[in-house]
Amino acid sequence: MSNVKLAVILGSTRPGRNGEAVANWVLTKAKERPHADYELIDLLDYPLPHLDEAVPASRGVYAGEHTKAWSAKIKEFDGYIFVTPEYNHSTSGVLKNAIDYLYTEWNNKAAAFVSYGSLGGTRAVEHLRAISSELQLAHVRQQLSFSLFTDFENFSVFKPSPVHDDTASVLFDQLESWAGALKSVRS
C-alpha cells in the first residue's frame, strides 16, 4: 500500500501563539514515520474571512477563490492532525471557520487531535470530535494534550514532557491505519 498523505493543521493564528511550537513538534515526530507523508498547513497561509459562501459547503459549489484554494489543499490529504488551542472551553474560531468552509473534502478521511491549554485543551477536542462526526471524518481515540502548566515554561516556551513521545506514536499508528483503510472507502 502506498504511503498515506496527512496534514498537520495549525489551528491558531493569534500573534505569539503557542500552537506553532506544538505543531512543529508534532511534525518533527511525524517526519520520522516511514509509511506516511506529513505536511504542515498553517491557517495563517489560508486567510479565510468569516464564512462568506452563500451555498452550504455540502453542495460543493464555491464562489470565492480563497474557498477554492482551501478546498484544493484539503483534498490532497488522506487524514489530518488538528492542532488546537482551547479558547473559552472550545476550539479556536479560526479553526472552526476553516473546517466549516468545506464538507466533502473531509468525508471518509481520518482525524487525530493535539491540543494545548490550561487543562490540556481537552474541551476543545471534545467539540472537534462532534464536528468531525458530522463531517464523516473518522476520529481516532488517541489524542495528545499539552498543559500550559507542565509542558510550557512560563506558559509560552514549549517543553513537552518525554511521556508524550509514546502517546504520539500511538496517535500516529492509529491515524495512519485509519487513513489507509479509508482510502478504499473513497475509491
**pLDDT (tens digit, 9 = 90+) per residue, 20-77?**
999 999 999 999 999 999 999 999 999 999 999 999 999 999 999 999 999 999 999 9
Domain ranges of the chain: 4-186
Q: What is the distance between the alpha carbons of residues 178 and 187, in angstroms, rounded to a whole number?
A: 15
Given a cut of 60, whether residue 161 has pLDDT beyond it is yes
In which band, very low, low, confident or very high, does the pLDDT at 187 lie, cut at 50, 70 and 90?
Answer: confident
pLDDT at 141: 98
pLDDT at 118: 92
pLDDT at 62: 97
pLDDT at 108: 98
Question: In 76-121, which ranges are continuous DSSP H helix?
Answer: 93-100
Supply angle C-alpha 8, 11, 17, rounded to 5.
110
Q: What is the distance between the alpha carbons of residues 182 and 108, in angstroms, rounded to a whole number?
A: 6
> Is the domain defined by 4-186 classed in CATH 3.30.1490.20?
no
Using alpha carbons, list the distances in angstroms from residue 46 to 41, 94, 98. Answer: 9, 10, 9
Mean pLDDT to the nearest integer, 173-185: 97
* Region of residue 76 (phi > 0: left; psi between -120 and 50: alpha; otherwise: beta): alpha
